Amino acid sequence: MNVDDVVLSFTPGSLTILNIVLGLIMLGIALDTAPSDFRVVAKHPKPFIIAILAQLLLLPIVTFLLTLVLPVTPSMAMGMILVACCPPGNISQVLTHRSGGNVALSVSMTAVGNLLYIVAMPLSIAFWGSLHPTARTVLHQVALDPWKMLLEIVLIIGLPFAVGLLVRAKLPRVASKAHPYVKWFSLIALVGFIVVALVGNWAVFIQVLGIIVLVVAVHDAVALFLGYGTAVLGGLGTRERKAMTFEVGVRNAGLGLGLVFAFFGGLGGMAIVAGWWGIWDIVAGLIVAALWARHTKKRTGAATGDATGKTLVEGTS
């Protein structure tokens, strides 16, 4: 069986549910985004600039190189590129908190970053995909229109994000009460959808299980290390390094899965990579966050320190 020739089956109703879940995820992020989150980025742009360069430039480049050395098919390679071009997932803030990182910085980077990705994501997917020696065939088969994808992304993540920002600005108490429910419901619903997607197409998934597990694990580890490495090279403090690690390493693979069905016809290799990424990303992130918090506790005597503090930038201690 050639996974490049397999199309995963999903009903229109399932895709509608997925789009609603993705919209709820963006709504949850926006409900927790205050106007000050944007202002602090303007006042302290260095961490944000480092994070954006790592996400929009370095991660796609490194991913592109990985697709050339790992034993992946064209559709798997395109799936890796797609995930690398997705915006950060809101679970990054949870992982940053659990590790004792700078949550305020994570929130700010996610808020501003998601706005940029509304435009950058479809263009980045089309650019890197068209450069790939084998994955470009996937783009030719589906005749990807980045502007049509941009419109889809605006409707799926841009509109809910704008609504959430408006509610947070005009009805802060409502936003504060609604945020935890929207955040956790959407996250659980997304994980559930991905699990159902993989189980429903288990015959296809099991055929490529070994290589998918290897490829996604390597790709995810490289993304996490890239976030940490760029923070170190940028001279950021320990808590900022933790935030940067998860901000770069955690991608909104659920959105990527939705785009696979919306624009790539549910192509097997792409869908399986994006689906497994969505699960492994959380598992690996929780492991890294727990080990990091444990290391910090042994070194300083505090598990997380003031992980919820509002300071955007700290020293390098």
* 316 in a structural domain: no
Distance, CA of 13 to CA of 153 (rounded, Å): 19
pLDDT tens for the chain, 317 residues long, are 566 555 566 666 777 777 788 788 778 877 877 776 667 667 778 888 898 899 999 999 999 999 999 999 898 999 999 999 998 877 887 888 888 888 778 877 877 787 888 888 888 998 999 999 988 888 777 666 677 777 877 787 778 888 888 898 888 889 888 988 887 887 788 777 777 766 766 776 677 778 888 999 999 999 999 999 999 999 988 888 999 999 999 998 878 887 887 778 777 788 888 888 888 998 999 999 999 988 887 777 655 444 444 455 554 43
Domains in the chain: how many in total? 1
Map residue 8 onto helix, strand or coil: coil
* 84 in a structural domain: yes
* 232 in a structural domain: yes
Q: What is the CA radius of gyration of the chain?
A: 19
CATH number of the domain bearing residue 276: 1.20.1530.20
Per the structure, the complete domain to which residue 229 belongs is given by 3-300
Q: Is 18 exposed, middle or buried (0-12, 13-18, 19+ CB in 10 A)?
A: buried
Q: What are 49's two structure tokens?
A: 């600039």
Could you tell me the end-to-end alpha-carbon distance of the chain, in angstroms, rounded to an integer? Answer: 53
* 314 in a structural domain: no
Residue corresponding to tokens 């697709």:
67
Angle at 175 between CA 280 and CA 164, to 5 degrees: 70
Distance, CA of 24 to CA of 34 (rounded, Å): 17
Q: What are 240's two structure tokens?
A: 């900022």
